[in-house]
Amino acid sequence: MLENAWIIPLIPAASFFLILFFGKRLPKKGSEIGIAALAICFVLAIATNVEWFSHVDDAEHAAASSHSDDGGHAEEEGDSQEHGMADGESAGVLLPAAPDAEAAASAPSADEGQTDFSVEPVQKSWTWWSSGGHEFTVGMLLDGPGVMMLFVVTLISLLVHIYSTDYVHGDRRYTHFFAFLSLFTASMLGLIMSENTLQLLTMWELVGLCSFALIGHWWEEKPNSDAALKAFLVNRVGDVGLICGVIILYFGAGTFDIRTINEMAISGEISHLVLLVAACSLMAAVMSKSGQFILHTWLPDAMAGPTPVSALIHAATMVVAGIYMVGRLYGVFFQGLSIGISSVNLMAVVGGVTVLGGAALAFVQSDIKKVLAYSTVSQLGYMVMALGVGAWTAAFFHLFTHAMFKAGLFLGAGSVSHSVHSFDMKEHMGGMKRFMPKTYATFIICTLALIGIFPLAGFWSKDEILAAAGQLGGDGSYTAFLVVGVLGALMTAAYMTRCVYLTFHGEPRGHAADTAHPPHESGPRITVPLFILSGMAIVAGFANIPNSGALSWVPDGMAVRFEHFYEPKGDYFPVVLDTFAHPEFSLGVALFSTVIGLLGIGLAYAWYFRGLGPHGITERNRLARAGHRVLVEKYYLDRLYVDGIAGAIKRPIARAAYWFNQNVLDGIVNGIGSGMARIGRFVYDRIDQGVIDGAINGSGAAASSTGQGLRKIQTGRVQEYAALLFAAAALLAGVFIIVI
């Protein structure tokens, strides 16, 4: 299955066309095709994972046996490391003066307890088209992160499909909805398997297109189509960065092949400056796609789409594309931004700002989905920050766990709103605990997982990020981002508690209090996906239990399985560099972050449940009011974009375009038109009437006058003919005699 995993994206792609063409005629309006396709994909993805596990284990055993045989492998390994470092130096990466010992000391768990072995990724490519002697390929590059994402995307997508059959039941474009869910999944799966950056770019755009179609699913209402347009346009901004990055990397490495680019970046064959520029360009793409400040503004508006789409966008497909892209090209980022040896870099800063900025905005939202959207922004900030500090595994582990509990939260929010027909927590919710016990239970589990309470999934992944921020990096390390992460954890706990309070506790309001139609628990097609996801939110964290520090008693066979199987091992991943390291489990950080989380819950509990604290401060205190206002206005970013940038540009441009149109374009068009008319008249008068007609009339007249002339000798008298005959014969005879 590993070799033929390329078939997985083709299944939903085929399903897209089948649903589009035949969906309406089927008894279930096409949803059955989508679900069947995704179910097959899910099974195939599991098979791929299983095979990948044995592939990794085989590689490990082979490496271990050759290691014990002659030690040649270790030498080779050492050589390649030295080689990489030497090139790194020549490329201008600044290594500490007495590098080896220090780097090894500052990364204590880097290679501890694990043999160095490399796992060959599965790569296949076919020629897409060739031009100018250069072949452009399409194919698949499948390794750890790829198979992990296959599992996540197919699982979430399958659950979302099942959920949607109930949620959008009776919708006017039910078939269309399922068709685009299929295409969305197909493009994300294609992106995951991308073998070269060009394919990545294509799939990236396809994902953007599908998100546009699905966010604007109910386009009859203006805000929805506006949100879709906004998502599309903001993403265009970042896509420019992606295109620039791809082009820069192509000229830097001479290829689109992702693996080669990474290998060249890590070995130092591409200069540091090129990598830096490429990484900064690609960061723009990450900022737009993965909702990082300051291009995150489309993401909360994307809540205009149906809730299952929000879950799919936020958990599995759209927003993690940016994270995945960074992880895929991690060699470029790691070297370009000098992640391993610096204490601050662009990616970490963007992630850190997003963690806090997104979390702060979640406090002032009254729409339950927008709270979750800003929560996603904040959690994506964690992932980018983790990638920024060099903790690749932590970032992807958080992606994995976050996909589970955030999908659960979104689907839970959808379940609530399905029942009260509104997303407004303040107007139409409250006390839903009574009406929807199953949704409540799953929502609480996913919330606790998001906050990071032991032993749920979020605890392990967030803790790994915090530990990495505290331990990795060069001098002084990324300690500032540890503080950011802890603050973010506090805020996460508080806003999620507020959200739970407003939705499920207190007295019912609005539609929720409607006694004629009291809210009711959703059907099994909604609750079963919730159960599965909350189950995953409980157990997913154990996939990567650390076995270092205070947890060193965990047996090797159970610990860091996620890292073991899913982290790429080979020359195309920075793991071969000395500066790359894995964080160690830190009991202090773990306890502290848990306490912080509980503190956040406690504070929010006291504020909302008990009504303690200075309520109404936003009306009384000027400073607090201003702060609240900034948050409600979302840092005025939308105002800046719409009025400041778009408005300032569009007026003069529109006027200039009008002037240009009236004067230049119309002038050109009119000039061409009248010029053509003049030429036409000239041609008619002179050439057609004069030359051509003259030639024809002239030939006629010549024939006629010749005829008139010849007519004179046509007398009808035989004897004159005879005279002519003899005269001519005599003439000829005379000529004959003279010539001879």
Instruction: From 362, 368, 367, 361, select the one nearest 413 (Cα to Cα).
Output: 368
SS3 helix, strand, coil % of the chain, rounded to 5? 75, 5, 25
Provide the token pair at 326: 């960074």
**CA 649/CA 654 separation, integer angstroms:** 8
Beta carbons of 598 and 493 less than 8 angstroms apart: yes
Tell the smallest beta-carbon distance from residue 724 to another protein (Å).
10
Instruction: From 427, 662, 450, 635, select the one nearest 537 (Cα to Cα).
Output: 450
**CA 345/CA 283 separation, integer angstroms:** 12
Provide the token pair at 712: 């004179």
Tell the smallest beta-carbon distance from residue 706 to another protein (Å).
13
Provide the token pair at 466: 């915090």
Nearer to another protein, 86 or 723 (CB): 723
**CA 563/CA 662 separation, integer angstroms:** 64
Tell the smallest beta-carbon distance from residue 736 to another protein (Å).
16
Nearer to another protein, 251 or 721 (CB): 721
Does 515 engage in binding with another protein (CB under 8 A)? no
Pick the stretch among 5-13, 240-248, 439-447, 711-719 that binds another protein (CB under 8 A).
Answer: 711-719
Nearer to another protein, 669 or 725 (CB): 725
Pick the stretch among 305-313, 607-615, 678-686, 709-717 that binds another protein (CB under 8 A).
Answer: 709-717
Beta carbons of 168 and 414 less than 8 angstroms apart: no
Would you tell me how many other CB atoms lie within 10 Å of the CB of residue 664?
10
Tell the smallest beta-carbon distance from residue 728 to another protein (Å).
13
Binding mask 665-704 for another protein (x = CB under 8 A): ----------------------------------------
Q: Which element (helix H / strand E) includes 136?
A: strand 134-142
Nearer to another protein, 632 or 727 (CB): 727
SS3 521: coil
Enumerate residues 562-621 that contact another protein by CB under 8 A. Answer: none
SS3 424: strand
Nearer to another protein, 636 or 726 (CB): 726
Nearer to another protein, 50 or 722 (CB): 722
Please list, in sequence order, all residues whose beta carbon lies within 8 angstroms of the beta carbon of residue 662, skipping any fewer than 6 positions away. none
Tell the smallest beta-carbon distance from residue 715 to another protein (Å).
6
Q: Which element (helix H / strand E) includes 138?
A: strand 134-142
Instruction: From 609, 386, 611, select the one nearest 504 (Cα to Cα).
Output: 609
Does 715 engage in binding with another protein (CB under 8 A)? yes
Tell the smallest beta-carbon distance from residue 720 to another protein (Å).
8
Degrees, nearest 5: CA angle 529-534-540: 115
Nearer to another protein, 702 or 722 (CB): 722
Pick the stretch among 251-259, 539-547, 579-587, 706-714 that binds another protein (CB under 8 A).
Answer: 706-714
Token pair 């205190």: residue = 621
Token pair 């990364």: residue = 107
Tell the smallest beta-carbon distance from residue 680 to another protein (Å).
45
Tell the smallest beta-carbon distance from residue 739 to another protein (Å).
21
Nearer to another protein, 697 or 715 (CB): 715
Nearer to another protein, 656 or 723 (CB): 723
Would you tell me how many other CB atoms lie within 10 Å of the CB of residue 60?
17
Enumerate residues 5-44 that contact another protein by CB under 8 A. Answer: none
479 HSE (CA, 13 A, CB side) = 4
Nearer to another protein, 699 or 715 (CB): 715
Looking at 98, 623, 718, 740, which residue binds another protein (CB under 8 A)? 718
> Residue count at the site for another protein (CB under 8 A)?
11
Helix 197-215 vs helix 222-253: crossing angle, to nearest 10: 180
Provide the token pair at 305: 């789409």
Instruction: Give backbone dihedrals phi and psi of 490, rounded to 5 degrees, phi first.
Output: -60, -50
273 alpha-carbon distance from chain centroid: 25
Tell the smallest beta-carbon distance from residue 697 to another protein (Å).
24
Beta carbons of 148 and 276 less than 8 angstroms apart: no
Pick the stretch among 69-77, 220-228, 324-332, 710-718 that binds another protein (CB under 8 A).
Answer: 710-718
Instruction: From 341, 226, 194, select the one nearest 272 (Cα to Cα).
Output: 341
Does 711 engage in binding with another protein (CB under 8 A)? yes
Tell the smallest beta-carbon distance from residue 735 to another protein (Å).
19
Tell the smallest beta-carbon distance from residue 688 to another protein (Å).
36
Q: Looking only at Cα atoms, what is the longest distance across the chain?
A: 144
Pick the stretch among 138-146, 450-458, 514-522, 707-715 that binds another protein (CB under 8 A).
Answer: 707-715
Nearer to another protein, 126 or 726 (CB): 726
Tell the smallest beta-carbon distance from residue 698 to another protein (Å).
23
Residues 462-497 as b/e (b if ≥16 CB within 10 A, e otherwise) read: bbbbbbbbbbbbbeebbebbbebbbbbbbbbbbbbb
Nearer to another protein, 515 or 719 (CB): 719
**CA 614/CA 626 separation, integer angstroms:** 16
Degrees, nearest 5: CA angle 562-566-571: 135
Tell the smallest beta-carbon distance from residue 729 to another protein (Å).
10
Pick the stretch among 562-570, 661-669, 697-705, 719-727 that binds another protein (CB under 8 A).
Answer: 719-727
Pick the stretch among 193-201, 268-276, 404-412, 716-724 that binds another protein (CB under 8 A).
Answer: 716-724
Tell the smallest beta-carbon distance from residue 711 to another protein (Å).
5
Nearer to another protein, 621 or 715 (CB): 715
Nearer to another protein, 610 or 717 (CB): 717
Tell the smallest beta-carbon distance from residue 732 to another protein (Å).
15
Instruction: From 85, 82, 92, 84, select the one nearest 274 (Cα to Cα).
Output: 92
Token pair 């008139």: residue = 708
Beta carbons of 463 and 419 less than 8 angstroms apart: no
Looking at 689, 726, 732, 733, which residue binds another protein (CB under 8 A)? 726
Does 97 engage in binding with another protein (CB under 8 A)? no
Looking at 516, 557, 717, 736, which residue binds another protein (CB under 8 A)? 717
Nearer to another protein, 718 or 739 (CB): 718
Nearer to another protein, 90 or 715 (CB): 715
Instruction: From 332, 322, 333, select the one nearest 293 (Cα to Cα).
Output: 322
Instruction: From 392, 362, 384, select the one nearest 500 (Cα to Cα).
Output: 362
Nearer to another protein, 649 or 729 (CB): 729
Nearer to another protein, 130 or 704 (CB): 704
Q: Which element (helix H / strand E) includes 128?
A: strand 122-131
139 beta partners? 125
Does 719 engage in binding with another protein (CB under 8 A)? yes
Pick the stretch among 262-270, 287-295, 629-637, 721-729 that binds another protein (CB under 8 A).
Answer: 721-729
Instruction: From 533, 110, 595, select the one nearest 311 (Cα to Cα).
Output: 533
Pick the stretch among 103-111, 326-334, 541-549, 714-722 that binds another protein (CB under 8 A).
Answer: 714-722
What residue ranges bind another protein (CB under 8 A)?
710-711, 714-719, 722-723, 726
